[in-house]
Amino acid sequence: MLDEKDWFTEVVDTAGSAFSLRIRRKLHAEQTPYQSIAVYETEHFGNLMVIDGFTMLSSRENFLYHEMLAHPVLFTHPAPRRVCIIGGGDCGTLREVLKHPDVDQVWQVDIDERVTRVAERFFPELTESNADPRAQLLFDDGIRWIRDAEPASLDIIIIDSTDPVGPAEGLFTADFYRNCMAALTEGGLLVQQSESPLYHMDIIAGMVSDLKEAGFSDTRTLFFPQAIYPSGWWSATMARKDRAIGDFRRADVDARPFETRYYNADIHAGALAQPEFFRRRLGGSAR
């Protein structure tokens, strides 16, 4: 919400907390068939995208989320060639995936084309790789697209979704994960943004349970800071088909032919360290 003193505030009633940014002006607002989208110019965080009243990304800090959703899973797979991104309409995750020269093909499937068009206008740095010939942008139902995907056709599935409400709710279910299992190659990996470990442990525990029910052999959760999201502390959960997740390709991370602002081999290793309360809650099931 935007108050009379020009602060945009996202309130989390269940946690008794809120996060605010001082706004200079509203740049854009529209209602799509799926959600409301607004963009504000802030004083210190650049442009801010808000969907259905929830902060999605800002120019200043989005690199944290996009790098941690893309690079850990890509450097964990031994040879990722075919990648699908479900959601991710702002195209920041797509940009990071396309930094990997060995990736041959990326499908991005987001139900709401307007998110991408708004990002092209107000966050052009995120959409700078959209014309890459390896990328195919599809504006479709990601749940249906995965269900209809050719079996064993994808090495990695990245689920870059909003919170598990509304159109994204179906992306957090055992049925959806079963379809992901079928679409993945042997040893294929899935990664999904998995909310705040401080505020949303029920969601993370439910995800891990549903992933195992769907047949995934192993799960690991990574932790990273995310300044504009509730609690400022976020996570992504990986799951692997047919085998343990194992170590990541540290030497390849160190020799990567592209720049990152947050991600490196030490960050990757540190992000896998589990807080004690998390380990106790999941009983060691997510290692």
Active site residues: 160
| CA–CA separation, 91 and 94 (whole Å) | 5
Name the residue among 140, 51, 122, 130 with its Cα closest to residue 91: 130
What's the CA gap between 232 and 11, in Å, rounded? 13
Which letter, b or e, does each residue of 118-134 get, where b requires 16 or more Cβ atoms within 10 Å of its Cβ?
bbeebbeebbebbeeeb
DSSP assignment string, 210-248: HHHHTT-SEEEEEEEE-TTSGGGEEEEEEEESSS-----
Backbone angles phi, psi at 95, to 5 degrees: -55, -45
* Distance in angstroms (rounded) separating the CA atoms of residues 276 and 246: 21
